[in-house]
Amino acid sequence: METQTAIAQVGTWNARNLLTVPEVAEWARVHPKTVYRWIREGRLEAIQFGPRCFRIPEDAIHQFLSKTGYETSRKNGRVKK
């Protein structure tokens, strides 16, 4: 399985704004397998730390969801379709 990994510039992300796959799935109200599929297809930027460990930058989630027609609110993290 090939995954798309991102090399972030220094200072663009830190551990506080990297989310796990289950967190992204809950935020987008989809199954975690859907998030893994988005990563595998290259539709969602993810950073791979090990064979099964992915983290998704918060900004990548907002970009992805806005491209796919979701509205996000940064205040409460809710997603509306």
Q: Write out the chain's pLDDT in tens, 81 residues.
A: 555 555 545 455 566 689 999 999 998 889 999 999 999 999 999 999 988 899 999 889 888 878 887 665 555 555 555
pLDDT value of residue 67: 85
> What DSSP letter does each residue of 13-58 carry, written as one string?
--GGGEE-HHHHHHHHTS-HHHHHHHHHTTSS-BEE-SSS-EEEEH
For residue 66, give the nearest of 32, 42, 46, 43 by alpha carbon. Answer: 43
pLDDT value of residue 10: 46
Q: Yes or no: say if 75 and 66 are a contact pair by the CB < 8 Å rule.
A: no
Q: Yes or no: say if 18 and 6 are a contact pair by the CB < 8 Å rule.
A: no
What the chain holds in terms of domains, given with CATH numbers, is 17-80 (1.10.1660.10)
